[in-house]
A and B are shown apart, each in its own frame.
Chain A
Amino acid sequence: MSSDQDHLKQTDTEKRFEFKKEESSAFKAEKGLTEETIRVISEDKDEPQWMLDRRLRALKQFHEMPMPDDWPGAPDLSEVDVDEIVPYIRPDVETRGGVDDWNDLPDEIKDTFDKLGIPEAEKNALSGVGAQYESEVVYQNMQERWEEKGVIFCDMDKAVREHPEILKEYFMTKAVPPSDNKFAALHGAIWSGGSFVYVPEDTTVDMPVQAYFRMNSDGMGQFEHTLIIAEENSEVHYIEGCSAPKYSEFNLHSGGVEVFVKENAHVQYSTVQNWSKNTYNLNTKRAIAEENATMEWVSGSMGSKATMLYPSTILKGRGATDNHITIAFAGEGQNIDTGAKVYHNAPDTKSTIESKSISKDGGRTNYRGLVHISDGAENSSTSVECDALMFDNESTSDTMPYMEIQESKVDVAHEATVGKIGDEDVFYLQSRGLDDDDAKQMIVAGFIEPITEELPIEYAVELNRLIELEMEGSLG
């Protein structure tokens, strides 16, 4: 094992996430959500009129749309009162759009990201890094060699100012319109921060780019927007990490992610989410894949009080491929409702969904997924596999797949299993000298291995470490 991995192994992961900083901000919006709030945020960002108009339109849709609370077994969102959250906090950083040197950050913010290990990772394994603190990106940097090739990696506010034509065309118009669901509409109204990634034709960004999102203040909402456009024959891997310390009030994270994978391009989007256990994590993520394009979603949902997340891919071009890999781990008091959606809208398209969930100490996981094959999407194939592991009788594990098949020349398969952690397996490992905890950890690590295999080694180690912490019951 390399020294980097040792370093990660030795870090006290719990301490890395669970620390709080004094609130110190340059601008903090009032609690609640009114037209006035939106105008104030937009003005503080110095946005063009068209973006303000889109925000106001989304706000109107938000007020008109119902809460997603009539789904069977869905998390209880009754506590989520948007009038109780602080929608926008601009941290006290002079350079809008983020500095490009960690040393230019105020000490408490720099210290935060140091503890999270972001600058260290940047040096070793990443092409570019963005870091968001509260509502704004505070650090953004990419290796020069990518800039020279025309790759853009910047914060969204900057993108609105500098690339208005692209933004007008792609921002919440095609992939995630505000009308998609109530929280997409909320996002459209008060989004702030996030990354814009643009990869030109025939360009392969060989090391991942990463954005890290940190909420520090009590009772705030974070609504970052990520827009990725991968032009023909390009390739990029985007990683997002999320965390927040735990407070008594609820926090709300409602991000929006839009990915455009052009002809023959390849995008991987990986998330390791470790929000504090008072956070409601309600995201909308969607990709549109053109001819022969490949979209891959890798998601690890470890944190949050409640998560509702169903990354979706529209396979629009002939021969497009989608792969979903998802892990959910729900401990005490957590309800992780996650899954995948795939629309096969063209012939010869292919999708695979692999879901692993673990529930423990009264936690609740639910796989909720949709595969839709449209009439005319000949020779499409889809394979869905869901496996759930349960630790105890207080926990719950649900599996709710939906399949809509309107084309006969297809190959559709869905499989799911649920079971407890095998007593025999534990006994075997114990007889080899492992104690009960270590044996169970090893079994869980084996259970999710197909997924950790897909992650860069730093993240795989991180994910395993988080799971170990969960198993020790030492978090939250």
Chain B
Amino acid sequence: MSTQVHANLTREQVEQISADLDEPEWLTETRVEALEALDDLDMPDVIRTPGRDWTNLHALDFETLVDPLNAAEDKDRVSDEGIEVLEWSEALAEHGDLVEEHFASVVDPEENYLTALSTALFSAGTVIYVPEGVDAEDVKIRTQMNSRSLFNYTLVVTEESSSVTILERQSTGDDVEGERYYSGIVEVVAGENSRVQYGALQNLDEETYNYTLKRGHADTYATVDWIEGNIGSRLTKSSVETYLKGDSSETKTVGAFFGHDDQHIDIAARVWHQGEHTTADLVTRGVLDDQARSVYEGVQDVGTDAWDTSSYQRENTLMLSDESEADASPKLIINNHDTEASHSATVGQVDAQDLFYMTSRGVHPQVAKNMLVEGFFVPVLDEVDVDELRDDLEELVAERLRE
């Protein structure tokens, strides 16, 4: 594949990044192995139907997008009492064993080409550690990208009966000539009876290509909830995933996106039911305007041993423009019959009757339409427990409607 970058990447560059962060040998080795694996790895799976790939990652020119040694960012970390929110080198120094135990335990660095690239090159990272029994709120990580490329890594570990709410935001700062690339990997290890709520709001500029993989492992009685807002970027390929490993574990994913111009938003929500009595609820709503295109994949995979599973999925897309395209594939893969599973997906436009009603009450048609779009997001916004994220998402939607 001519577009791949690794021909220009060297072991020395990777070792340099690792040395700058003062990393232990095992991690340097993991990075070098990931670099060497690039040759044999494929791009992340995309959906294919006869004659078309829903997202074409092979067209991306990684050679010009990736600038390994000049990563720059502004990071703002807000912590809460009793827990640790550490930058990468700090985490390695203070919790070396913890990091070694959990790093790459949820996302295999060599899962695909982009995870390996991310593992080899990440220079920005955060570790959040919540000790047993501690409840924390208002953890915030704001990342502003100021370089051609940025590889970001986040590890969340919650011990037994703890809980944490995390809000992550990505945006772009200093202008860089031309296009850029953001890659983020998030691993969540949720211990027994702990609860993680991880909200992310992506508002990168529309010159930026974005690859994100967020995945959690939920132990017995644990809950991993995700909120995933996608507003920015030129192209996003994002997957939010939970493995319900422990009995009675739960997950809820709430997604919202709003694409305009020629944005391409490819998002996935996936859950693997592995323990018994597990529950999943995946809810996504999106709006498309102009020539924007959305690709949605939902996967509810129920394993052979996942007795007494409940699994629900809903996806609704609203199309504001004839030039836009909405593709969706909600999948059920059921290997245990003791399951109650359902999914539904709809695509439509702003309801003509609603619009008529509002205009007949004297509301200007454009205002009425905007109100209906804002209203469309309400069912997912209602699910968002993090006030700041909900307010920001609402504001970004309103802003886009005003354009």
Enumerate chain B residues within 8 angstroms of A401, measured Cβ to Cβ: 329-331, 345
Shortest Cβ gap from B104 to chain A (Å): 25
Enumerate chain A residues within 8 angstroms of B132, measured Cβ to Cβ: none
What is the bound-complex CA distance between A402 and B49, given in angstroms?
Answer: 8
0 or 1 for each of A405-431: is its CB under 8 Å from B? (1 = yes): 111111111111111110000000000
B339 at the interface (CB under 8 A from A): yes
0 or 1 for each of B33-65: is its CB under 8 Å from A? (1 = yes): 000000000000001011010000000000000
Shortest Cβ gap from B369 to chain A (Å): 12
What is the bound-complex CA distance between A391 and B52, given in angstroms?
Answer: 36
Specify which of B325, B331, B335, B344 is in contact with A406 (CB 8 Å cutoff).
B325
A48 at the interface (CB under 8 A from B): no
User: In chain A, what residue has the closest Cβ to B317?
Assistant: A405
B379 at the interface (CB under 8 A from A): no
A403 touches B347 (CB 8 A): yes
Enumerate chain B residues within 8 angstroms of A391, measured Cβ to Cβ: 337
B349 touches A73 (CB 8 A): no
A408 touches B320 (CB 8 A): yes
Given contacts A404-B49, A407-B322, A409-B349, contact A395 B330 (CB under 8 A): no
Enumerate chain B residues within 8 angstroms of A411, measured Cβ to Cβ: 348
Specify which of A73, A396, A399, A412 is in contact with B347 (CB 8 Å cutoff).
A412
What is the bound-complex CA distance between A208 and B315, given in angstroms?
Answer: 41
B332 touches A412 (CB 8 A): no
Shortest Cβ gap from B280 to chain A (Å): 13
Name A residues whose Cβ lies closer than 8 Å to a Cβ of B. 73, 370, 372, 375, 388, 390-393, 395-421
Given contacts A391-B337, A393-B337, contact A403 B328 (CB under 8 A): yes
What's the tally of chain B residues with a CB closer than 8 Å to chain A?
37
Shortest Cβ gap from A66 to chain B (Å): 12
B324 at the interface (CB under 8 A from A): yes
B326 touches A405 (CB 8 A): yes
Shortest Cβ gap from B60 to chain A (Å): 22
B344 touches A413 (CB 8 A): yes
B331 touches A414 (CB 8 A): no
What is the bound-complex CA distance between A71 and B345, given in angstroms?
Answer: 22
What is the bound-complex CA distance between A411 and B346, given in angstroms?
Answer: 8
Specify which of B326, B327, B329, B348 is in contact with A400 (CB 8 Å cutoff).
B329
What is the bound-complex CA distance between A191 and B346, given in angstroms?
Answer: 40
A412 touches B304 (CB 8 A): no
Enumerate chain A residues within 8 angstroms of B329, measured Cβ to Cβ: 400-403
What is the bound-complex CA distance between A363 and B161, given in angstroms?
Answer: 41
A405 touches B327 (CB 8 A): yes
Given contacts A402-B49, A403-B329, A407-B322, contact A390 B345 (CB under 8 A): no
What is the bound-complex CA distance between A121 and B171, given in angstroms?
Answer: 71
A405 touches B319 (CB 8 A): yes
B333 at the interface (CB under 8 A from A): yes
A-B contacts, 22 of them at CB < 8 A, read: A370-B49, A375-B322, A375-B323, A393-B336, A393-B338, A398-B331, A399-B331, A400-B331, A401-B331, A403-B327, A403-B347, A404-B52, A405-B317, A408-B321, A408-B322, A410-B347, A416-B344, A418-B332, A418-B342, A419-B337, A419-B339, A419-B340
Shortest Cβ gap from A94 to chain B (Å): 44
Given contacts A405-B325, A419-B341, contact A396 B335 (CB under 8 A): yes
What is the bound-complex CA distance between A192 and B295, given in angstroms?
Answer: 42
B169 at the interface (CB under 8 A from A): no
What is the bound-complex CA distance between A414 and B339, given in angstroms?
Answer: 20
What is the bound-complex CA distance between A407 and B341, given in angstroms?
Answer: 30
User: In chain B, what residue has the closest Cβ to A364?
Assistant: B335
Enumerate chain A residues within 8 angstroms of B332, measured Cβ to Cβ: 388, 397-400, 416, 418
A402 touches B327 (CB 8 A): yes
B6 at the interface (CB under 8 A from A): no
What is the bound-complex CA distance between A234 and B241, given in angstroms?
Answer: 52
Shortest Cβ gap from A426 to chain B (Å): 13
Specify which of A370, A417, A420 is in contact with B342 (CB 8 Å cutoff).
A417
User: In chain A, what residue has the closest Cβ to B339?
Assistant: A418
User: In chain B, what residue has the closest Cβ to A421?
Assistant: B337
A418 touches B341 (CB 8 A): yes
Shortest Cβ gap from A252 to chain B (Å): 22
What is the bound-complex CA distance between A310 and B374, given in angstroms?
Answer: 39
* A-B complex: 7 closest residue pairs judged by Cβ atoms: A390-B337, A408-B319, A412-B347, A399-B332, A420-B337, A418-B341, A417-B342
Shortest Cβ gap from B257 to chain A (Å): 15
User: In chain A, what residue has the closest Cβ to B313?
Assistant: A416
Specify which of A370, A390, A413, A416 is in contact with B346 (CB 8 Å cutoff).
A413
User: In chain A, what residue has the closest Cβ to B54?
Assistant: A404
User: In chain A, what residue has the closest Cβ to B332?
Assistant: A399
Specify which of A388, A397, A410, A419 is in contact with B349 (CB 8 Å cutoff).
A410
What is the bound-complex CA distance between A417 and B313, given in angstroms?
Answer: 10
What is the bound-complex CA distance between A415 and B330, given in angstroms?
Answer: 9
0 or 1 for each of B348-359: is its CB under 8 Å from A? (1 = yes): 110000000000
Shortest Cβ gap from B154 to chain A (Å): 29
B107 at the interface (CB under 8 A from A): no
What is the bound-complex CA distance between A397 and B336, given in angstroms?
Answer: 9
Specify which of A398, A400, A414, A418 is in contact with B344 (CB 8 Å cutoff).
A414
B75 at the interface (CB under 8 A from A): no
Enumerate chain B residues within 8 angstroms of A392, measured Cβ to Cβ: 337
What is the bound-complex CA distance between A417 and B344, given in angstroms?
Answer: 9
- Chain B positions 283-342 with a Cβ under 8 Å from a chain A Cβ: 304, 317, 319-342
Enumerate chain B residues within 8 angstroms of A409, measured Cβ to Cβ: 322, 349
Enumerate chain A residues within 8 angstroms of B348, measured Cβ to Cβ: 410-412
Task: Given contacts A408-B322, A415-B343, A418-B341, list 8 more A-B pairs with CB under 8 A.
Answer: A388-B332, A388-B334, A393-B304, A400-B329, A404-B327, A405-B325, A410-B319, A410-B348
What is the bound-complex CA distance between A410 and B350, given in angstroms?
Answer: 10
Specify which of B50, B340, B345 is in contact with A403 (CB 8 Å cutoff).
B345
Enumerate chain A residues within 8 angstroms of B324, measured Cβ to Cβ: 408
Enumerate chain A residues within 8 angstroms of B50, measured Cβ to Cβ: 370
Specify which of B47, B334, B344 is in contact with A397 (CB 8 Å cutoff).
B334
User: In chain B, what residue has the closest Cβ to A370?
Assistant: B49
Shortest Cβ gap from A282 to chain B (Å): 15
B341 touches A405 (CB 8 A): no
Enumerate chain A residues within 8 angstroms of B322, measured Cβ to Cβ: 375, 407-409
Shortest Cβ gap from A451 to chain B (Å): 20
Enumerate chain A residues within 8 angstroms of B52, measured Cβ to Cβ: 404
